[in-house]
């Protein structure tokens, strides 16, 4: 989800934001897994602006960011906080040098998924933990480098094929949150021509988007179904 609004991420995002639902749900999931799994030396692959660094820093000894220069220039520019610009499928970093590997909303942009997972496995120490967030339902973005959407079963098999033990695959956002988030995106980004309609849309969005955000975040748990979700959070471990 390479959108400038993701620079303002977390529970503090305004209810007027078109990305309130996705942002807050991912922030909550990253808060949970950072406390449970992060330790030692951490590498953030496809780090962008390192939005989750505040959540992970209390639990790790160091935080190192890697990103591809082309993607950084296109999406974040000077706001990119990479310590190293490199191909995420071949970083040239020392093997088995990190205890924790974090990669959020990156896998769908890597055409050679196998090479990416092989590199992630190579970078982790034995017993190290990988934390990945991967979209399941989202509009195309960061074109033309948007290649895949993965089911939980594809994720489970791919990570196992490349040498990981899968600890958990958790849906982030259920069907109600997912459908509401898509509705908000469609309301906001629908192209309009006439000035009167643009004014009507602006008023509608000022009223509708906060209400839809509020309802989605509070009702998603009540109407929960993981058959459709915005993202998956995958926790894997490199065997000893």
Beta-strand relationship, 165-172 and 231-237: antiparallel
- Look up the CATH number of domain 23-174+227-237: 3.40.50.150
pLDDT digits (tens, 9 = 90+) for 170-215: 999 999 999 999 999 887 766 666 777 778 777 877 889 999 999 9
Regions in the chain scoring below 50 on pLDDT: 1-8
Give the start-to-end residue ranges of the domains of the chain. 23-174+227-237
Q: Is 104 exposed, middle or buried (0-12, 13-18, 19+ CB in 10 A)?
A: buried
Q: Specify the pLDDT at position 201.
A: 76
For 149-177, give the DSSP string: ---HHHHHHHHHHTTPEEEEEEEES-HHH
Global confidence as pTM: 0.90
Q: Quick one: CA torsion of 153, 97, 39, 129, rounded to 10 degrees?
A: 10
Q: Specify the pLDDT at position 92.
A: 97
Q: Specify the pLDDT at position 192.
A: 63
Pair 17, 9: CB distance under 8 Å: no
For residue 40, is it left (φ>0), alpha (ψ between -120 and 50) or beta?
left
Q: What angle do CA 87, 230, 121 make, to 5 degrees?
A: 35
Pair 154, 216: CB distance under 8 Å: no
pLDDT digits (tens, 9 = 90+) for 42-58: 999 999 999 999 999 99
Q: Distances in Å between the alpha carbon of 84 and those of 43, 65, 67, 70, 176?
A: 10, 6, 7, 13, 39
> Which tokens hold the place of 193?
């021509």
């Amino acid at each position: 989800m390479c959108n400038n609004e993701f620079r303002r991420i977390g529970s503090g995002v305004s209810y007027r934001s078109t990305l309130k639902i996705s942002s807050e749900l991912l922030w909550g999931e990253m808060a949970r897994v950072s406390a449970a799994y992060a330790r030692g030396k951490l590498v953030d692959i496809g780090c962008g602006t390192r939005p989750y660094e505040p959540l992970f820093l209390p639990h790790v000894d160091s935080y190192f960011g890697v990103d591809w220069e082309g993607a950084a220039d296109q999406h974040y520019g000077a706001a990119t906080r990479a310590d190293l610009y490199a191909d995420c499928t071949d970083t040239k970093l020392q093997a088995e040098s990190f205890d924790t590997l974090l990669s959020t909303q990156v896998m769908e942009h890597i055409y050679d998924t196998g090479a990416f997972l092989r590199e992630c496995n190579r970078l982790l120490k034995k017993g190290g933990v990988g934390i990945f967030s991967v979209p399941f339902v989202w509009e195309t973005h960061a074109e033309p480098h948007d290649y895949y959407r993965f089911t939980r079963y594809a994720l489970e098999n791919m990570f196992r094929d490349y040498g990981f033990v899968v600890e958990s695959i958790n849906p982030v956002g259920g069907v109600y949150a997912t459908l509401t988030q898509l509705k908000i995106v469609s309301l906001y980004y629908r192209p309009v021509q006439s000035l009167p309609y643009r004014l009507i849309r602006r008023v509608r969005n000022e009223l509708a988007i906060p209400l839809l955000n509020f309802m989605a975040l509070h009702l998603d748990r009540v109407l929960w179904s993981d058959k459709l979700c915005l993202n998956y959070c995958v926790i894997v471990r490199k065997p000893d």
